[in-house]
Structure 1
Amino acid sequence: MIYISIFISAIHSKYEYNRVFIQNSKLNVNGTEYFIKGICYDPVPIGETKRNFEMIDKDLSLMKEAGINTIRVYSPIDEVKILDKIDKAGIKVIISFGYNQNGYYDILNNTYLEYVKKYKNHNAILLWELGNEYNYHPEWFNGNIDNWYNSMNSAANEIKKIDQNHPVSTAHGEIPDDKARKIGSNIDIWGINIYRWDDPSSFISEWEKVSNLPIYFSEAGSDSYMTKDFKDFKKGINEEAQAAANKTIINNVFKIRDKVAGILIFQFVDGLWKAGNPKIQDVGGWAPNSSGVPYDGTANEEFWGIVDIERNKKKTFEVIKELFKK
């Protein structure tokens, strides 16, 4: 009984300070203000269409080198050893729940609550995030986006019944309209996927006119392929254009860091599965509301990584490292 008591005490000691809350419109982790310097992370190996974490050790090493403190995933990580490695690296994770993922910790089937119960005390968890720019897809909700907003708001409420130690967010495409904000009253902090060329900071003045809730930029950035010439940036693979865009984006966000909870650059590694043959890197692909992607107004979906599929650093890696480590 003594050994059991000591073991339980050790577990409680490990997790009891894992508290994330919002204070003065900023994230606060265990009593310290926390500014997200993050990366979106969906590691799908070459030739495959589903993510796996076979490169997690290399990836975390590169993330630490770049000064990244937060990763955002698009589907829950149901592997304790992976979450433990993220935590050991000193990195937090934003866990996103999809609406209909065939029962895999999704909102439609209420299985997301099983995940919250299972991992709410894990030190790696920063936020619970509901959906990813679903506002662009009313067709997924019988043509009525209100169906999503109501499901989102209900899910946020259910999470709060289980876990009072982590805020609940959603990743919304651009500024939420009046309807989204009104129905989504249980959202604590809004994630904004934003592609306004190389300056997302204009969002803040618009947001302050309609809401006093905190926000973070859940996606921003640029890919490394130019579909056309633009100024000094030539058509084709162009790491210089990506590096220049990300540098300007991050600098502009840092100028308003008193009004935003952070930024996540899209994305860590190139995704060869998105636009064609997953064994090769294809030009093209499509993403909603992507005309603001710098510097060609096109989202070349397989070229967004700050490292390539083999984990070679692109030029933007060093830019992000310099800015995130300041």
Structure 2
Amino acid sequence: MFLPIILLVFTLNSCDTKTDKVSILKNKEGMKLVVNGEDFIINGMNWDYFPIGTNFSYSLWEQSDAFIKTALDAEMNLLKEMGVNTIRVYEGIQPQWITYIYKEYGIYTMLNHSFGRYGVAINGNWEPETDYSNANAQQGLLTEVSEMAEAYKNTPGLLLFLLGNENNYGLFWAGSETEDFPEGETEKNEIGELRGRAMYKLMNEAAIKMKEIDKNHPVAICNGDDLYIDIIAEECKDVDIYGTNMYRGKSFGDAFERVKKTLNMPILFTEFGADAFNSLTQKEDQKMQAYYMLENWKEIYENVSGLEKAGNAIGGFTFQFSDGWWKLGQTTSLDIHDNHASWANGGYALDYVKGANNMSEEWFGICAKGPTDTKGFYTLTPRAAYFALQKAHQLNPYAKGITTDLISKHFREIKI
């Protein structure tokens, strides 16, 4: 009489530990992500947990299990209600929490290794700027990503691996604070050949090693916009997905077609979005932020496989879930919500004036961050963009009968 019960328990345990089969499908209709045989659009979010007063040195994953669970339950519930199905998280999260997030909230994780973006350890010494042509740096990074693939390969809830975070930008400046680029094309090209080619070649070697270890999860790279895409085409032939942090305003322009033509890869927007602070009025501007995000998601959906456009979009990760109060100074004024714009972008015309910065790094959250309580937790207040994207993500661009006209209609009916 106990045999059926034993078999039932075995079956349930097998389901809990089942590794998802994730792959890229390419055919005459385009390119798409397939998860366990089903078409999958990534409605993603760049997610982190930094209480006001902390910075990059803080790690949620070093807190107690009880603290982590409470924090996750609060934020993942908001994400689930919004329609987010994948979060972007850097290495450091333990496999158990990837599975917890998936089992409790149905949200997958894209696991991100920075791949030397902020420095690399060589023979026990930390080098703040990575020289990708250095043999010791190469070996160290290949060892790290191989160990990551081995440790996470059987983790339920893992969707894919991501290497880097706009590492091509890191060839120009150290650290994570966004700056403006040198304007000369000659200088950019020289740096690409001198430092960038070795980096992309190493990324490809890393992808090969990781896929030898884990055959069920694709490997993407994270590039800044399309800078050095021609070098990527030559050096990254074994990478599965072209991920890009792209901030072009309301439209991604030629990005879909250029990636399709140059790389023949699916495009994944690993970061995009808009800040919620208007540099002209010097006030919070939720409507402006929501407007840009809706325009971006509309283009992503219109360019999925099976429609009449590029057919290579597989989704994106909105940047970001909550404000980063540490972003501007990195180590100073951590308890001040700084509204100074640190870089200029003419694509965001609603608050752009030539010669002036308009992008406020500490205001990119679609949720405003509240004060930290005595236990170390904080609450979030969703902005207009949260509710706008909640409506946007109700659309499945792979649903039967979907057309670009229906997508446009869906987005027109969203009231900011």
Bin for the TM-score computed over the shorter chain = 0.7 to 0.9
SS in 2 for 1:111: helix
Using the TM superposition, give the Cα deviation of residue 291 of structure 1 relative to its aligned residue in structure 2, in angstroms: 4.5
Using the TM superposition, give the Cα deviation of residue 102 of structure 1 relative to its aligned residue in structure 2, in angstroms: 5.5
| TM-score under structure 1 length normalisation | 0.87
Q: Which amino acid aligns with 1:144?
A: R
Q: Which amino acid aligns with 1:187?
A: V
| TM-score under structure 2 length normalisation | 0.69
Q: 2:161 & 2:143 partners in 1: Cα distance?
A: 14
Structure 1 residues 312 and 207, CA gap change in structure 2 (3 angstroms): same
SS in 2 for 1:244: helix
> CA contact under 8 A between 2:18 and 2:156: conserved in structure 1?
no
SS in 1 for 2:141: coil
Q: 2:169 & 2:149 partners in 1: Cα distance?
A: 26
- Which of 215, 218, 240 aligns to 2:287? It is 240
Q: Which amino acid aligns with 1:317?
A: Y
Listed as ranges, the matches of 1:13-162 within 5 Å are 13-24=15-26, 25-49=31-55, 50-52=58-60, 53=68, 55-73=71-89, 75-88=90-103, 89-100=105-116, 108=141, 110-139=143-172, 144-162=195-213
Q: Which amino acid aligns with 2:87?
A: I
Unaligned runs of 5+ in 2: 61-67, 127-138, 175-190, 306-310, 353-357, 371-379, 396-416
Q: Which amino acid aligns with 1:68?
A: V
Q: Which amino acid aligns with 2:150?
A: K
Aligned residues: 316
- Which of 299, 306, 309 aligns to 2:366? It is 306
Q: 1:294 & 1:31 partners in 2: Cα distance?
A: 42
Q: Which amino acid aligns with 2:93?
A: D
Structure 1 residues 238 and 13, CA gap change in structure 2 (3 angstroms): closer
> CA contact under 8 A between 1:245 and 1:295: conserved in structure 2?
no
1:289-312 Cα offsets, whole Å, 9 max, x none, are: 855346435321110111111310
Unaligned runs of 5+ in 1: 229-233
Which residue pairs with 2:254 in the alignment?
202
Q: Percent identity?
A: 28
Normalized per residue, the structure richer in helix is 2
Using the TM superposition, give the Cα deviation of residue 209 of structure 1 relative to its aligned residue in structure 2, in angstroms: 2.6
Q: Which moved more, 1:126-135 or 1:93-102?
A: 93-102
Q: Which amino acid aligns with 1:82?
A: W
Using the TM superposition, give the Cα deviation of residue 174 of structure 1 relative to its aligned residue in structure 2, in angstroms: 1.2
Which residue pairs with 1:323 in the alignment?
392
Using the TM superposition, give the Cα deviation of residue 154 of structure 1 relative to its aligned residue in structure 2, in angstroms: 1.3
Which residue pairs with 2:241 in the alignment?
189
> CA contact under 8 A between 1:223 and 1:299: conserved in structure 2?
yes
SS in 2 for 1:136: helix
SS in 1 for 2:33: strand
Q: Which runs of 4+ in 1 moved over 6 A?
A: 5-10
Q: What is the aligned-residue RMSD (CA, Å)?
A: 2.8
Which residue pairs with 2:221 in the alignment?
170
